[in-house]
Structure 1
Amino acid sequence: MKGKEIKILQAKDADLKHILFVDKTVFGSNEKADLTARIIKDNAAQPVVTFLAFDDQTAVGYAIFANAEVDGWHQSDHVSILAPLAVIPEYKDSQVNKLLIEEGIKKLKQMGTEMVFTFGNPEYYKKFGFVPEAESFGFAPPATLTNESREKWMVQALTLKGLSKNVGSVVCSESMNKPEFWGL
């Protein structure tokens, strides 16, 4: 890690360029950056909560938490999907991922969000309180998953209310409702 101190800040509209810089650095193409930009700009994904990690003036990572819904839940019930999360390779072994996820979850709790979902490596996300196979708790994923990928669909309850209402299909914004988003 280059700098002495990583700063985690909540992103503003003007920070899109920093987020796209991280995407292009991590993924090496504009394809993922375009998908990320669509999520941030998608009205159905609002409120999007995004945190950026900076080393000095350079963006080194981000975490996006996009609004979602659970079929059958009241509209005042709030859930989010953590996706995407990206950190520049030379910072992967630092605490950047952890700090981004923790700040995002802290903000979601302040906003009254009841559940947060993600799709990824179960061993990795379990470190942050996510439970694999969210579908086994009654939360169907937004996409049809293969048997091998079911454990990657994960959930974390942020409130007791979220735990008590564990049934329904998760509905994400149109920008996230694409097979390539889910790695399928």
Structure 2
Amino acid sequence: MCGIFAYLNFLTPKKRSEVIDILLRGLQRMEYRGYDSAGIAIDGSNDPAAPHSQIALLKKVGKVSVLSEYIKENKELDFDAVYNIHCGIAHTRWATHGSPKDVNSHPQRSNKKNEFLVVHNGIITNYREVKEYLMKKGHEFESETDTEVIAKLIQHIADKYPGFSFRQLVETAIQQLVRLLLLSGCIGL
């Protein structure tokens, strides 16, 4: 069991600190769903007018309060930056695949540029087969989680089909997961 929370702000000026507070409050309300670790992903650029903002990925082992303290100590983020548009995701983790470690906390990323981020609740039964497939294609893994295979698979598809929409990427990733699941002889995701 895990807790997933997202926040989308559109054309309403908000400070980064407000967005972070909203995400952390959401996680605190769901902490009973996962207390092994917590993480958030937010716009990371200190220039809210930047056309393509980098993503700040902040994750810690332990309760949401540990993540909150870690974020407060972050010297790279301008907490007073005001965004008119912002999207953030947050996750509390109950460890199933991979021990409680910062690197195993969610969100999981597709690459070091954080092009695709995934939070997930559940178990991917055939993640080892998917991971093997992606490693043969040159993808490097950072975590021991099953969730990371989703982010890497979406990245793999995006690299192969650069014109795909986000919806096409997700649909194709699901189809690939199911196909590999059937080939492995498993019956459920």
TM-score (norm 1): 0.27
TM-score (norm 2): 0.27
Higher strand share: 1
